[in-house]
Structure 1
Amino acid sequence: MAAPDLHALANPLRFQRFATALTPWLLVLGLAFMTVGIWRGLFFAPPDYLQGETVRILYIHVPSAWFAMGGYLGMALAALAAMVWKHPLAALSVRAIAPVGALFAAICLITGSIWGRPTWGTWWVWDGRLTSMLVLFLLYLGVIALIHSHDDKARGLKMAGYLAIVGTLNLPIIKFSVEKWNTLHQPASIRLSGSSIHPDMLQPLLLSALGFLLLFAGLVLVRMRTLIAEQRLEMRAMRRAARAG
């Protein structure tokens, strides 16, 4: 299958056809990889020598954190493309990514809280990593609120885009919070230089992460298809109103 022409995909109708064909594959493969990864992590991976069985929630917690952050960066880049290059689908991408990213950030916070209760003896601590992840979740909610806060959709999207871009300042804070500040949260176990995780634990984690990534992409495409369809219906309604007037 030939790679899609990105300039051709700038046309909403062409993109709709491409997304319609790709979405089921992303969702099915995403669910499959996520299920296998979590299943192996829950029932076959060894317990951690310090955290014991509680480490198993990380097969959900860690991928959701990764792609909550990655999704925010993607949303900010889409907002920049909408402002600078006026890409016809960039603004729709901001609207599509925001609720999916908020969902992943919420999963990260909830699972982190569940993990923290037996590990730290409390559901929540206001340390750098947890607080900055909460800020990320609130930034997502802020973008969603701004999108829907104005009768003028273009103005609302523009303001949401500014918040998305400015909010990227929080991403390096999340990344380096466990390295630069005193924190209860453990430092990163996976780096570009390698991993300190045992292979029997690392493999299911990577499978789960791949599943989360494909699911994120599939859900964003579902949202974009919906938004394009809504946009077409609005344009038809406007044309009918113009003819009637």
Structure 2
Amino acid sequence: MWAFIHKLGSPRWFYGMSAKMQPWFWAAAVLLLVVGSLWGLAFAPADYQQGNSFRIIYVHVPAAFLAQSIFIAMAVSGLVFMVWKIKVADMAATVMAPFGAVMTFVALFSGAVWGVPTWGTWWMWDARLTSMLILLFLYIGVIALRSAFTRRDSGSRAASVLTMVGVINIPIIKYSVDWWYTLHQTASFTLTSRPTMPTQMWLPLVIMLLGFYCFFIAITLMRTRSEILRREASKRWVQELLTDPMLSTATKKAR
């Protein structure tokens, strides 16, 4: 375990390791998203109450799950960076924030579109909706805070602290429908209880969830690799790699 953490602290090792993992996650993401989209949008039966408007669940739920998961991942990365000073953790948190903000916006927007035919309104100051909006502001705050400091380390520490404090909003999002009276329905799909939907409806949702997560991992690996090259541009191994792309010194030494 400690040996792995030690290796994880090496940008050169992570760059080489992620090069091997990235294609597999891209392939899995494309396959799962294509199968899940076709199944959910074309072949799953219409809901007996909401009709075909329920099909937005195949975008809304994965986006909402991912928005929360990314913020938790950023908080963990911030903790690792603050405690063990692992630069790759901070690089990963840096590239995850914009994608998390996009997923939060997609969740809010798709929820608003879904709310018009279902609730008769696109927005209510509902506990679930409001806490998701706060999550979007937290993402924007983390991104802005990083660029507000002239020294990168200061910005990284400030963003890590904000992320670790802001993660308290995640259980509020999850349990808001249980703690308060809200317009938002309770979860129709959880990892700990039997789905309330028929199999032909929830199975494509699971596939879409897995596809969204594989896409997130793939794009995080890709963007972290770019961030490593940007931050480590003065290092010899990066200069050699950029001078001769066919000579993957980093990949060879990471084996």
Alignment of 1:186-225 (within 5 A): 186-191=185-190, 192-225=192-225
The match for 1:242 is none
Are 2:189 and 2:202, in contact at CA under 8 Å, matched by a contact in 1? Answer: no
CA distance in 2, matches of 1:154, 1:11: 17
The match for 1:58 is 57
The match for 2:251 is none
CA distance in 2, matches of 1:153, 1:218: 25
| Matched AA of 2:201 | M
Find the residue that maps to 1:28 and give its secondary structure. helix
Per the TM alignment, residue 41 of structure 1 is displaced from its structure 2 partner at its CA by 0.5
Identical-residue share of aligned pairs (%): 41
CA distance in 2, matches of 1:146, 1:154: 12
The match for 1:29 is 28
Find the residue that maps to 2:139 and give its secondary structure. helix
CA distance in 2, matches of 1:24, 1:106: 27
The more displaced of 15-24 and 203-212 is 15-24
Cα 1:117–1:150 shift into 2, 3 Å: same
| Matched AA of 2:206 | L
Verify: 1:228 aligned to 2:228, yes or no. yes
CA distance in 2, matches of 1:127, 1:235: 50
The match for 1:69 is 68
Question: What TM-score, normalized to structure 1?
Answer: 0.91
RMSD: 1.6
- Unaligned stretches of 5+ residues in structure 1: 237-245
- Unaligned stretches of 5+ residues in structure 2: 237-255
Per the TM alignment, residue 8 of structure 1 is displaced from its structure 2 partner at its CA by 2.2
Per the TM alignment, residue 209 of structure 1 is displaced from its structure 2 partner at its CA by 0.5
State how many pairs are aligned. 234
The match for 1:127 is 126
Find the residue that maps to 2:207 and give its secondary structure. helix
| Matched AA of 2:225 | R
Per the TM alignment, residue 15 of structure 1 is displaced from its structure 2 partner at its CA by 0.6
Per the TM alignment, residue 10 of structure 1 is displaced from its structure 2 partner at its CA by 2.4
Per the TM alignment, residue 7 of structure 1 is displaced from its structure 2 partner at its CA by 3.1
Per the TM alignment, residue 28 of structure 1 is displaced from its structure 2 partner at its CA by 2.4
Alignment of 1:87-166 (within 5 A): 87-166=86-165
| Matched AA of 1:208 | M
The match for 1:40 is 39
| Matched AA of 2:90 | A
| Matched AA of 1:116 | G
Find the residue that maps to 1:197 and give its secondary structure. coil
Question: What TM-score, normalized to structure 2?
Answer: 0.88
CA distance in 2, matches of 1:215, 1:68: 13
| Matched AA of 2:86 | H
| Matched AA of 1:226 | S
| Matched AA of 1:37 | G
CA distance in 2, matches of 1:126, 1:99: 25
| Matched AA of 2:197 | I
CA distance in 1, matches of 2:226, 2:72: 22
Per the TM alignment, residue 89 of structure 1 is displaced from its structure 2 partner at its CA by 1.3
The match for 2:77 is 78
CA distance in 1, matches of 2:193, 2:30: 29
Find the residue that maps to 1:194 and give its secondary structure. coil
Per the TM alignment, residue 178 of structure 1 is displaced from its structure 2 partner at its CA by 1.0
CA distance in 2, matches of 1:101, 1:143: 11
CA distance in 2, matches of 1:6, 1:201: 40
